[in-house]
Structure 1
Amino acid sequence: MLKISSGLINGIIDHAEVHFPIEVCGLISGVDDDVYEVYRTRNDANSEVLYQLNPLDYLKADRDAQTKGFEIIGVYHSHTSSEAFPSPTDLRLAPDPNWHYLIVSLKMQPPQVRSFRMVDGAIIEEDVLSSIM
């Protein structure tokens, strides 16, 4: 189960809405399944259907997380016209089977947020516990 504050979720949704119709992406950091920090990154693909984390933004986020005693535990991105479910491309490009993959869909209002694990070609949905922190 991914544990993340409602404030961080709202920040991710805001990021997606501001850049609509381009997909956005970012990194989540924390400890195990607890998210403590969200890092907005540039989408180098600059696409409505694909995201590509900017490597420099990734490096900066990773360094900042480490200085706070956290690690990068996942990635988020938006789907602007499809459900909050990993696409075949998302599955194929998932870099780490230990990561959480958070997807926000702007297809309908309010936006839908779901999280997944992607391991050996399998997509496993996980619960998201969002609380006020």
Structure 2
Amino acid sequence: MLTIRREIVDAIIEHARRDHPDEACGVVAGPAGSDRPERFIPMLNAARSPTFYEFDSMDLLRLYREMDERDEDPVVIYHSHTATEAYPSRTDISIASEPFAHYVLVSTRDDHHTEFRSFRIADGDVTEEKVKIIEP
């Protein structure tokens, strides 16, 4: 189960809505070895595409160096889908490289309702998990 604070959920959704019609992407880092998403890090979708996301390789390198310096792990890796449900595509599954991360997908296809779902993706297997949102 993903346990995440309401303010981080709201920030992820706001980022997804702001970047629409392109997909948004980012990371929520947490203390190394923990399962606590604490630091929201919106990233630029280098692909600038409504159907695909890609982290800029230099931005990603800087992020991983920064997380190493801060003794953090990528607890959540998120991106949005702009025209489909919040479920990992074949491409999403093939590029998932963090077996211990929660992969959060947000669908912005509906102006009035935002889907927010979390998955574990490891070795090509996708498992949806419950999301527990902690209110302040």
TM-score by length of 2: 0.89
Distance 2:30 2:130 in 1: 17
**What CA deviation, in whole Å up to 9, does each residue of 1:29-78 have, x standing for no partner?**
11432110111111111111100011232233334434444222231000
Matched-pair contact (CA < 8 Å) for 1:97–1:117: yes
Counterpart of 1:101 (choices 103, 107, 121) is 103
> Is 1:82 the equivalent of 2:84?
yes
Percent identity for Structure 1 against Structure 2: 35
Segments of structure 2 that go 5 or more residues without pairing to the other structure are: none
Matched-pair contact (CA < 8 Å) for 2:75–2:102: yes
Segments of structure 1 that go 5 or more residues without pairing to the other structure are: none
Q: Which residue of 1 aligns with 2:113?
A: 110
Matched-pair contact (CA < 8 Å) for 1:91–1:118: yes
Matched-pair contact (CA < 8 Å) for 1:27–1:58: no
Matched-pair contact (CA < 8 Å) for 2:26–2:41: yes
Call closer, same or farther: CA 1:110–1:3 in 2, change over 3 Å: same
Moved more, 48-57 or 68-77: 68-77
Q: Which residue of 2 aligns with 1:51?
A: 53
- Residue aligned with 2:38, SS: strand
Moved over 6 A (4+): none
Amino acid at match of 1:74: V
Distance 1:131 1:113 in 2: 14
- Residue aligned with 1:12, SS: helix
Q: Which residue of 1 aligns with 2:131?
A: 128
Matched-pair contact (CA < 8 Å) for 1:105–1:112: yes
Distance 2:45 2:128 in 1: 24
Moved more, 115-124 or 65-74: 65-74
Distance 1:89 1:81 in 2: 15
Distance 2:72 2:127 in 1: 24
> Is 1:3 the equivalent of 2:3?
yes
